[in-house]
Amino acid sequence: MSKRPVIESEKAAWHDEDDDHLVVSVPKKVKKTLKVELKRTTDEEHGELDSKEYIGRLQAAFKKRHGGTPKWAAASAEDEDEEGSLLKSAAGYLAKDVKLPKTTIHTTLLKDFNIGHRFNRGITSVKFHRTRPVLIVGDQGGNIQLFKVSSEVKKDHFLQSATFTKFPIDCMEIAGQGHTVICSSTRQEYLMQYNMDTRQITQLKPPNTVPKQGVRFFAVSHDSQFLAIAGHNSHVYVLHSTSMEHITTISLPANATCIKFFPSHSREMWIICQTGQVVIATIGLPGSKAAQHTFTDDGAVHGTTLAISQHGDYFSTGSDTGIVNVYSGHSCRDSSTPTPLFNVSNLVTSVSSIAFNSDAQLMAVCSKVKENHIRLVHVASQTTFKNFPERNGKVTHASCVDFSPKGGYLAVGNDDGRLHVFNIHHFSEY
């Protein structure tokens, strides 16, 4: 199969269009060495700089400290040349219907994606990096692996790895504005942090105000400011992600089984409990109590997982019966018994993971209890695709799923250590 045209070239990981045309001031409270690198003798007394000049100085300081752009965050010259040639051709501008057809979905399994780097331990988390074409994988052996993502599996697509001793990974989140990975384990009362730029491993200990217990799962806000840890006593402990300062404690009707921060609101969490109740909690200012709204997941006896679409239009829940309910995100805020828009009943065993793609046209659901228990859902028509997974591309025991930022790839981690990555043809970008 021929390669699809690249519509838009990759941008640098540290470029954000929102920063353009801003005027900023060099912070006063920064490390002395960094302040020297940011300040210039020719700067005006008030210290205000054009945003491009300030960002340029930050980039120069970063490269000076770390010896250039890390390999995992750098696009290869070969890829950039290929993109350039495609962009110059007329084929690079072929238009495509933005609406996903509901009849069949065309996918290609990237065979042997983790060949030579597979551990016979269950994969518990797969996360696509938000700005770079990198897939991060965590498993029950305490291993973190980084793979470069492209439509062809190349010999150099494996980037780097790290191993935490006596720390089987149960949950993994990307933090530090995309530069670090934080992991938790039911075996340990602390978390582990891995810096993908410096490859430094750091142990993160919650404060004494948090009970000593294994951490099965947690969540990190989209701006990496807050970290929420699920407790064993119907509580969620909210910490500052860098200082580990205990900010507030949220009381729940029962123990939490999944926590997600709302994609565009760093102070709002959606939490599903063992009893099927869902709590929307908003972190208040220091010293104030978190505001809460609770509703009941329709028909659920034991809730297992949840997912929120990128813009909050859709909210979905999974239960131990295999039922996935899909709600309007807005209706959940206003009612204690919201009615689902529809439900997915193709799975007959406990739901392990749910994910929406970026425009919420597509939803993936899976269960690790049975083989081939993964489905792709066409959200607009409320139907599942009959041709996925293909009969000759059997998925084993799917434990976790994630879509790449623009929906071009779907990653599936399996309970036997196999990693499946599918190229979804309708979405042309990573």
pLDDT in tens, 18-42: 555 555 666 555 555 555 556 655 5
Q: Do 42 and 148 fall within a single domain?
A: no
User: How many structural domains does the chain have?
Assistant: 2
Does residue 207 have a cis peptide bond before it, meaning omega lies within 30 degrees of 0? Answer: no
Please report whether residue 6 resides in a domain.
no
Report, as an integer, the average pLDDT of 370-389.
95
Please report whether residue 5 resides in a domain.
no
Q: Do 149 and 293 fall within a single domain?
A: yes
| pLDDT (0 to 100) of residue 64 | 61
Question: Cα–Cα distance between 363 and 360 in angstroms, integer?
Answer: 7
Sheet holding 353-356, edge to edge: 353-356, 362-366, 374-378, 383-384
Please report whether residue 8 resides in a domain.
no
| pLDDT (0 to 100) of residue 7 | 33
Report, as an integer, the average pLDDT of 189-207.
97
**Token match 């995309």: residue?**
178
pLDDT in tens, 34-66: 555 566 555 555 556 666 666 667 766 666 666
Q: Do 47 and 118 fall within a single domain?
A: no
Residue 175 φ then ψ, to 5°: -140, -170
Question: Cα–Cα distance between 401 and 153 in angstroms, integer?
Answer: 19
Closest CA to 315 of 297, 290, 336: 297
Please report whether residue 1 resides in a domain.
no
Question: Cα–Cα distance between 273 and 258 in angstroms, integer?
Answer: 7
pLDDT in tens, 70-127: 878 875 545 545 444 433 333 443 445 589 999 899 999 998 888 888 888 999 999 9
| pLDDT (0 to 100) of residue 118 | 83
| pLDDT (0 to 100) of residue 4 | 40
Q: Do 128 and 188 fall within a single domain?
A: yes
DSSP 206: P
| pLDDT (0 to 100) of residue 80 | 47
Q: Is pLDDT of 5 > 50? A: no
DSSP 187: T
Q: What amino acid is encoded at 253 in this protein? A: P
Q: Do 279 and 332 fall within a single domain?
A: yes
Pairing outcome for strands 23-25 and 398-403: unpaired
CATH number of the domain encompassing residue 264: 2.130.10.10
Please report whether residue 336 resides in a domain.
yes
pLDDT in tens, 152-162: 877 778 999 99
Q: Do 173 and 41 fall within a single domain?
A: no
Q: Do 168 and 62 fall within a single domain?
A: no
Please report whether residue 113 resides in a domain.
yes
Quick one: which H or E segment has residue 32? helix 32-38
Q: Give the best-scoring range by mean pLDDT among 86-90, 189-193, 395-399.
A: 189-193
Choice between 2 and 426, residue whose per-residue pLDDT is larger: 426
| pLDDT (0 to 100) of residue 112 | 82
Q: Give the best-scoring range by mean pLDDT among 116-120, 252-256, 298-302.
A: 252-256
Q: Do 171 and 263 fall within a single domain?
A: yes
Q: How many CB atoms lie within 10 A of CB 292?
A: 14
pLDDT in tens, 133-142: 999 999 999 9
Give the end of a domain, one of 66, 89, 119.
66
Report, as an integer, the average pLDDT of 200-223.
96
Please report whether residue 93 resides in a domain.
no
| pLDDT (0 to 100) of residue 47 | 57
Give the end of a domain, one of 17, 47, 66.
66
| pLDDT (0 to 100) of residue 57 | 72
Residues 6+ positions from 275 with CB-CB distance below 8 Å: 253, 254, 301, 302, 303
Please report whether residue 297 resides in a domain.
yes
Report, as an integer, the average pLDDT of 165-180.
96
Phi-psi region of 166 (alpha: psi -120 to 50; beta: other; left: phi over 0): left
Show the domain range for 286.
107-424
Alpha-carbon distances of 286 from 130, 233, 293, rounded to whole Å = 30, 23, 20
What pTM, to 2 d.p., does this model score? 0.81
Give the end of a domain, one of 37, 66, 95.
66
Q: Give the best-scoring range by mean pLDDT among 44-58, 151-165, 352-366, 378-392.
A: 352-366
Mean pLDDT taken over the chain: 85
Q: Do 330 and 415 fall within a single domain?
A: yes
